[in-house]
Structure 1
């Protein structure tokens, strides 16, 4: 009996360690929201830096990405993209339809983006009655959200491997 206890303890430790390593390796293989975009032929920069999580239903294509708050950034000096804290739509190869939580500023007017299409080397953002196309180069890297008020005064922002970190 005295020799059986250490053997049982060793067995449980080895079994538990194996379980922990399998769990960690499974979590490491989970793709990021940015990798999901690339899997559907979109550039990872379609989503801004700082996505905290996502949901994807592989059967229906329902896709949602989550941010810590709203986010906006400027494109080509004249356009702005704004994201709510939750962005959703139906994703398929080169198409994000029924988009919710994304808007584009045309001149002085904000319009809701309802669809994003990949057309060759361009992304087309459709608001239903109007559309704007942008070169894919604009979305090669994820954009950093613009600072509002004093929110970013003390943050150091740097790009690391195509991703922006704060």
Structure 2
């Protein structure tokens, strides 16, 4: 084998190697697509409607469950005319199967006061929302769709759909 033949062989090998590495890195990137925040909620046994429409991204440390979800700005809306909710641009907390804890960035208006929702627990077909001193349970069916900032769940004709409570009623919320 002459010098030119060896050089050609090295060049062909190098080009083949570069093509192979390039195609593998593209395949790897396609398989590593990050799920949306809504898909991630579903992986932890929560319905997508726990978050409003418009989440632009999130961070999650899967080893600790610590997360941050990001909106373009603050988000406020009413449900059933009596529950007013407010989301800050960043929502933080910890997620595990069926539990959101140490929440920051979500408030509900009770009477004349805004209070933080600090925990959400899934118990079968119900979600229980805790503000620390009180909690309320609602059917998971209420969270099948994401509320929209400004108008909640019924933005087409300006009225809000009724929210179903759990069979045991609502406690202090």
Question: What interval of TM-score do these two structures reach, taking the shorter chain for normalisation?
Answer: 0.7 to 0.9
> Is 2:29 aligned against 1:12?
no
Bigger CA radius of gyration? 2
Unmatched 5+ stretches in structure 1: 148-156, 158-166
Shift of 1:46: 0.4
Q: CA 1:11–1:94 in 2, change beyond 3 Å: closer, same or farther?
A: closer
TM-score by length of 1: 0.76
| Distance in structure 1 (CA, Å) of the matches to 2:44 and 2:144 | 15
2:130 to 123, 126, 129: 126
Shift of 1:3: 4.4
> Is 2:86 aligned against 1:76?
no
SS of match in other structure, 1:52: strand
2:27 to 8, 17, 21: 21
> Is 2:64 aligned against 1:60?
yes
Unmatched 5+ stretches in structure 2: 157-173
Shift of 1:123: 1.7
Give a deviation string over 1:8-52, Cα, whole Å, max 9, x none: 43542343133222212222xx22211221122111110111111
Shift of 1:56: 1.6
| Distance in structure 2 (CA, Å) of the matches to 1:23 and 1:114 | 36
Give a deviation string over 1:44-102, Cα, whole Å, max 9, x none: 11011111111222222212211111112222221022111111112122211111000
SS of match in other structure, 2:45: coil
- RMSD value over aligned CA atoms? 2.2
Aligned length: 146
- What does 1:127-146 correspond to in 2, within 5 Å? 127-146=131-150
Contact 1:82-1:102 at 8 Å conserved across structures:
yes
> Is 2:51 aligned against 1:47?
yes
Contact 1:50-1:67 at 8 Å conserved across structures:
yes
TM-score by length of 2: 0.73
| Distance in structure 2 (CA, Å) of the matches to 1:82 and 1:134 | 18
